[in-house]
C-alpha cells in the first residue's frame, strides 16, 4: 500500500455516533539523540485532551513519536451542522472526500455533522417517503440485484490533510448501538486502498439477528480493483476481534489505533493493547482470552 491517505470518520446507515477527546495521530521521526518529552502542558490550557497518553507501539531505535497537531483534534470547540460545504477546526470537511453519497440506502448529508460539548457528533435521520435505489449482489451469485429502501441520511467527515506511513493514528469512539457500521478509515484518494481503523456493528438488533457482529470489532483493510471489480481483504477469524466480557460494543467507548509501519505492515491497538498484526501475507491476533494466535506463520 504505497499511498497517502485521507482520514475519514464515517457513519453508514441508521445510527447516532460521537467521537471524542482522544482522536490523535502521530508520526515516527528519526533523531540523533532522543530526549524525553518536556513536562506536558495542562491539556485544558491548550485545548487538547491527549497530553500524557502513551503511544502503544515503540517508534523504533533512534526514533521518537511526534504529535501532528495539524491533523489531531480533540473537538474542544463548536461547529453547527449546515447543509453547505464547510471546513471546521481547520482540519475537517463535512462530507466524503468525493461526491459519492454513500453505500446502500445511506445518503451522507452535511448537516448531520456537528461539534458540541467537546464531542464530534454525527447523527442519522430520515425524511418521510424518501427512498433510495441501489445495486448489490446479496446472494453472491455474481449478479447484482436492485434494491429500493428508505433513505438513511447519515454523516461523514474527511481530513483536510493526508498521512503516510510510518504513522500511528488513534481515535476514541463511542460505538453506535445499532446494527449498522461505526467507522474510522484511512482511504486513498482513488478509493482503491482502505485501512479500517475501526468498523463496528455494535447493536444486536430487535430480533437479535446481529449478535455475532455486535460482540466483535472488525480490524481489516481492503485493496480494490475497480474494473472488473475485486475486493481483497483478510478473511481469517482474527480480523473479527473479541474481548472477554463484552457481548456487544454498541454504546461503549473504545480507543482504537493503527500503526501503519510500512507499505505491508499494520498493527492494531485497542485501549492501548496490541491485539493484531498483519505483515505482508502473515498475520497474528490476540484471542478472546488474550492469547496470541498465529495461524499461518
Residues 232 and 230: their CA atoms lie apart, in Å, by 7
Catalytic annotation on 194? Answer: yes
In angstroms, the CA 128 to CA 159 distance is: 32
Q: Are 217 and 256 in contact (CB under 8 A)?
A: yes
Q: Single out the catalytic residue among 86, 119, 135, 199.
A: 199
First to last CA, the chain: 21
**32 given a catalytic annotation:** no
Contact 11, 152 (CB under 8 A): no
Out of 119, 194, 215, 267, the active site residue is 194
Set of cell numbers at residue 225: 480493483
Burial 148-159 (b: 16+ CB within 10 A, else e): eeebbbbbbbbb
Residues marked active site are found at: 194, 199
Amino acid at each position: 500500500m504505497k499511498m497517502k491517505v485521507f482520514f475519514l470518520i464515517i457513519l453508514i446507515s441508521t445510527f447516532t455516533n460521537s467521537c471524542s477527546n482522544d482522536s490523535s495521530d502521530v508520526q515516527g521521526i528519526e533523531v540523533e539523540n532522543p530526549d524525553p518529552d518536556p513536562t506536558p502542558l495542562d491539556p485544558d490550557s491548550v485545548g487538547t485532551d491527549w497530553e500524557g497518553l502513551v503511544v502503544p507501539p515503540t517508534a523504533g531505535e533512534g526514533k521518537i513519536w511526534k504529535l501532528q497537531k495539524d491533523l489531531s483534534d480533540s473537538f474542544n470547540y463548536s461547529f453547527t451542522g449546515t447543509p453547505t460545504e464547510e471546513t471546521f477546526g481547520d482540519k475537517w470537511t463535512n462530507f466524503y472526500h468525493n461526491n459519492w453519497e454513500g453505500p446502500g440506502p445511506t445518503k451522507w448529508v452535511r448537516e448531520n455533522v456537528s461539534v458540541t460539548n467537546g464531542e464530534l457528533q454525527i447523527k442519522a435521520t430520515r425524511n418521510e417517503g424518501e427512498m433510495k435505489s441501489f445495486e448489490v449482489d446479496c446472494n453472491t451469485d455474481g449478479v447484482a440485484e436492485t434494491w429500493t429502501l428508505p433513505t438513511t441520511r447519515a454523516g461523514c467527515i474527511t481530513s483536510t490533510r493526508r498521512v503516510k506511513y510510518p504513522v500511528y493514528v488513534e481515535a476514541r469512539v463511542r460505538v453506535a448501538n445499532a446494527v449498522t457500521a461505526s467507522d474510522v478509515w484511512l482511504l486513498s484518494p482513488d478509493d482503491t486502498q482502505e485501512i479500517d481503523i475501526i468498523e463496528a456493528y455494535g447493536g444486536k438488533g430487535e430480533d437479535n439477528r446481529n449478535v455475532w457482529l455486535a460482540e466483535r470489532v472488525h480490524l481489516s483493510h481492503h485493496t480494490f480493483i475497480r474494473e472488473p471489480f475485486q475486493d481483497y481483504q483478510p478473511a481469517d477469524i482474527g480480523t473479527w476481534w473479541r474481548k472477554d466480557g463484552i457481548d456487544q460494543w454498541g454504546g461503549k467507548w473504545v480507543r482504537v489505533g493503527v500503526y501503519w509501519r510500512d507499505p505491508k505492515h499494520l498493527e492494531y491497538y485497542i485501549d492501548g493493547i496490541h491485539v493484531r498484526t498483519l505483515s505482508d501475507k502473515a498475520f497474528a491476533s490476540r484471542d478472546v482470552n488474550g492469547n496470541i494466535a498465529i495461524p499461518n506463520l
